A and B are shown apart, each in its own frame.
Chain A
Amino acid sequence: MKVIYLMLPIALALGFGFVAAFIWITLRGQYDDLETPAHRILIPEDSLEASHIQVNHEELNQV
């Protein structure tokens, strides 16, 4: 049963590593919005790159 003195601290450290990670990301606001990321993943990457379409506002008003 000696091995428990090795396993227990490892198990606790592992568990609390994840708790710490959870606290960190929660305080950084990653759990504020649970809905949008699920949708954002559908957007293909190339369409997110800034293609920088310049828009002339005078022109727009005629559309």
Chain B
Amino acid sequence: MSHASHSPNMQFSNSMNSIEPAPVSNRLCIHCNTLIPKNRKDDFCCRGCATVYELLQVRGLDTYYELKKKGRSIRKAVPVDDEVENLEKNSFQYLDDPEFLRLYSTAASENPNSLLTGRSMQFYLDGVHCAACVWLTEKVSDFVEGVDSVRLDLANSVATVKLNTEGSFGIVAEEFARLGYRPHPVKQDTLHALKKRDERIMLVQLAVAGACTGNIMLLAVSLYSGLTGPLAEQFKWISFGLFLPVFLFSSIPFYRGAWGAIRTQQISIDIPIVLGILLGTAMSVANLINGSDHVYFDSLSALVFLLLSSRYVLRRAQQNALNASNLIHFLTPSIARKKNEEGLFEEISLNLLRTGDVVEVRAGECIPVDGIVQQGQSMLNCALLTGESQLQKIEPGQNVFAGTVNQQAPILVTVSESGSQTRLGQILHSMEENLNRRAPIVAFADRVSKSFVTTVLILVGLVFFGGFYLLGDWHETMNRALALAIVTCPCAFALATPLAMSSSIARCARSGILVKGGDVLEKLSQISAVYLDKTGTLTTGRFEVLKYTGDEQLLPIIYALESRSNHPVAQAIIRYLDPPETLPEVENFVETLGKGVAGTIQGDHYRIGRLKKAMSSPSSQKIEKQSSASPVETQIGIYRNEVLVAEIVLGDRIRTDSQEALEALRSLELNLKILSGDSSSAVHFTAEKLGIPLSDAVAEKTPEEKSEIISKDPKALMVGDGANDAVALASAYVSLAVHSGMEVSMRAADCCLFSPGVLPIHRLIVVSRETMKVIHRNFIFSLAYNIVGGIAAILGKVDPLFAAVLMPLSAFTVLISSMSGTAKLRKISNEGVIG
């Protein structure tokens, strides 16, 4: 195995660089068309792009660049990860493990006539974005032996690889990685297949409803305009025939929804819809047989078609938001490097690990298990698990937990717990419990429709019997009851909520916010307090240079010294500095753990280490406190011949937009609170900087305590990122996970952000409030229509035919009202669109 050749440079992963971009020139990278950083001399933005370019030239695949010019990009091209340079051979070997194949691949049994009896596997590919990417990835089948075909689904970034019996998924994946598309195998569960089937059937139902409605309406036009005689009779029967597929097939989703609601003794909007459909159908059929003029097949099928379309649009909008995200990214299987009997490391699936096994965790990797460090010293980032912003030093004998990130040097860990038994696993478990326990909110629409439906039913009954008693005319009574039932058919009513919700969810998706359902918007519009996590939410959650005081001339020297170390502090400094044009020669380089680095440059002795003056005299510490230093910051001094010449302050930086975001939230009259697992000094420091009263800044809370606090507040929005927030996210009234959070928190939260920072929260809340306004407007309109129409029907001023013409008209008005939204809604969603 080649793990021994592992280079420490690999820690400088691309994701780290992309947040804080270096100054750029105005030239574009040949490979990915992004701006090239100033300090690069060639035509590429990074080493990764250069490596891939070279490979394509060598293989004669430069058609890629011609195709790239012709095609349109569906998403922004991103620079190739620098890791492509250090790609090790066989690093995807685990893909061909029989256990793995069983879970992740499917046998091509669909076509038994085919001789290609191989298996297929799906990969999520990072960075595919245009026609050239389609060409390049599908070309892989030409130059890797044993590959039958590769098909790329560009919108979802998913490639399906089909192998001959001889092929290897490991080699294909390696090939993708070499071409600059990092592959992540996608698990092919039955749920996914079912969802796909569902979607296809939904589309067919919509198509059938559409085609039938169109035809019925054509026939209805002649009936409305006064067609009589045998032809009219025949037309009615044909409409009935055309209505049958809508009634028996396209309306199935409503029957299912209504039945489900009745069985669980809940009220859903599906119940009045089904009632309307059944009642309308029964009356129309009765009239058809009696030879009366009043059949309403056109209105009924139009109702079904409109409702199905709005649901389909809603689903597509949510799907697109999911695709645009990198959520699938996190589905990457968990692999651990286990030491086997011969003392070599092999990659195995996480769930095969047993207590007592020894695993290797390289720098920059997430620790996969709970265990005890056996060998190696390093620094640990626990931010995602506990919320602590300071790095922790670890040495042999110490406990480490799954979900923390090893920052500095490779370590060996003896497994004590793995999988669901780990601390992370327990958090996951209690998060899922909380998610299940959360009481479903009775949506406004359902509350209204419940009383609405009851009222209508009682009224129809009253008119029917009371009318007969008062008027004594059976025919007239029947007509009035019919007109009332049709005029109050909850058509506009049923459309009011889903249409407004789906257009708002689509608006959110366009500006990088995933909202997981319509009820989330309603809850968001009601909140009175926002609880924010600190580390990773209000702050960037990683070590960064905050301030440099000293001579510019010293920078190359600092760079030369720190680039030899892989201490997290050194890495943060390197990230901050531009690489100098000429690197000064370093002699006698020494790195002492905990003390820093030292070396001789141009005859002078330089040392970079923890700043001493703040520690030594209490008076200067006081002064420091007044200026900029805080308990969350680390101060580094640069000493020339043991004389202090420059200072660097590092810490967990508050995001640039946090202040602005909190101001915006305050303007919405929301209570802002910090809820963190970090030390109280760090939390108070952040609270003070952001103007949050210390009484509202709660620190040193375990995930469970956080959850308890949040569940006591009935109208709270929880905002967080890490595993330590997941339980609180699940138990909050409504919750939101910020960008680059953990999978756990994204799964627990009701909405997720796909751009860094907390600024979009303001937009989301405004959108939710405006959406509720639109919904209320729709309700008022359709209620007014129903009341006026209903009274007119009771008084006998409206005949059933006229009511049937009015019904689609009212639905259409609701449609227009929902699509146009409010002026504020249009304004705010145009602001936030990300390209």
A residues near B (Cβ < 8 Å) are 1, 4, 8, 12, 15-16, 18-19, 22-23, 26-27, 29, 31-36, 39-40, 42-43, 47-48, 50-55, 57, 60-61, 63
Contact = CB atoms under 8 A, between A and B. Distances in A.
B200 interface: yes
Given A4-B231, A60-B55, 16 more contacts: A12-B215, A12-B238, A15-B211, A19-B208, A27-B200, A29-B196, A43-B67, A47-B63, A47-B135, A48-B138, A53-B60, A55-B59, A57-B89, A60-B178, A63-B54, A63-B58
B200 A53 contact: no
B131 A51 contact: no
B155 interface: yes
Contacts of A4: 231
B154 A35 contact: yes
**Of residues A32, A34, A54, which shows the largest number of chain B Cβ atoms within 10 Å of its Cβ?**
A32
Contacts of A61: 89
Given A26-B207, A31-B203, A42 B144 contact: no
Contact of A32 (B63, B74, B134, B196): B196
A53 B207 contact: no
A33 B155 contact: yes
A39 B204 contact: no
Contacts of B171: 57
Given A4-B231, A31-B200, A42 B59 contact: no
B71 interface: yes
A35 B215 contact: no
B152 interface: yes
B263 interface: no
Nearest to B156: A33
User: Can you list the 3 inter-chain pairs with the closest CB atoms, starting with the nearest?
Assistant: A35-B155, A39-B131, A36-B154
A35 B71 CA distance: 13
A39 B142 contact: no
A50 B142 contact: yes
A39 B134 contact: yes
Given A33-B155, A36-B153, A43 B211 contact: no
Contacts of B199: 32
B155 A15 contact: no
B70 interface: yes
A35 B155 CA distance: 6
A36 B200 contact: no
A39 B199 CA distance: 23
B729 to A, nearest CB: 32
A35 to B, nearest CB: 4
A14 B143 CA distance: 47
A16 B212 CA distance: 9
A33 B153 CA distance: 6
Interface string B53-69: 01100111001000100
A4 B234 CA distance: 11
Contacts of B144: 55
Interface in B178-226: 178, 196, 199-200, 203-204, 207-208, 211, 214-215
A39 B71 contact: yes
Contacts of A57: 89, 171
A19 B63 CA distance: 41
A41 to B, nearest CB: 8
Contacts of B153: 32-33, 35-36
Contacts, number: 89
20 contacts: A1-B231, A15-B215, A22-B207, A23-B208, A26-B203, A27-B204, A32-B153, A32-B200, A36-B134, A36-B153, A36-B155, A39-B71, A40-B131, A52-B143, A54-B143, A54-B145, A55-B143, A61-B89, A63-B54, A63-B58
Contacts of A42: 67, 70-71, 131
Summarize B's interface: helix, strand, loop or mixed: helix
Interface string B279-306: 0000000000000000000000000000
Contacts of B143: 52-55
B130 interface: yes
A1 B208 CA distance: 29
A16 B210 CA distance: 11
> Among B59, B143, B171, B231, which residue has the most Cβ atoms of chain A within 10 A?
B143
Contacts of A50: 141-142
A43 B231 contact: no
Contacts of A35: 74, 153-155
A63 B60 CA distance: 13
Interface string B69-95: 011101000000000000001000000
B130 A39 contact: yes
Given A35-B74, A40-B134, A42-B71, A63 B55 contact: yes
A33 B122 CA distance: 15
Interface in B353-403: none
Nearest to A49: B142
Contacts of A16: 211
Nearest to A18: B211
Nearest to A30: B200
A56 B336 CA distance: 29
B211 to A, nearest CB: 5
Contacts of B154: 33, 35-36, 39
Contacts of A36: 134, 152-155
Given A36-B153, A43-B134, A61-B89, A23 B58 contact: no
Contacts of B238: 8, 12
B200 A51 contact: no
Contacts of A23: 204, 207-208
B54, B58, B145, B154: most-surrounded residue (chain A CB, <10 A): B154
Nearest to B145: A54
Contacts of A52: 142-143
A8 B216 CA distance: 12
B715 to A, nearest CB: 40
Nearest to A40: B134
A7 to B, nearest CB: 12
Interface in B293-352: none
A61 B142 CA distance: 19
Contact of A29 (B131, B152, B200): B200
Contacts of B207: 19, 22-23, 26
Nearest to B218: A11
Nearest to A33: B153
A18 B210 CA distance: 12
Contacts of A60: 55, 178
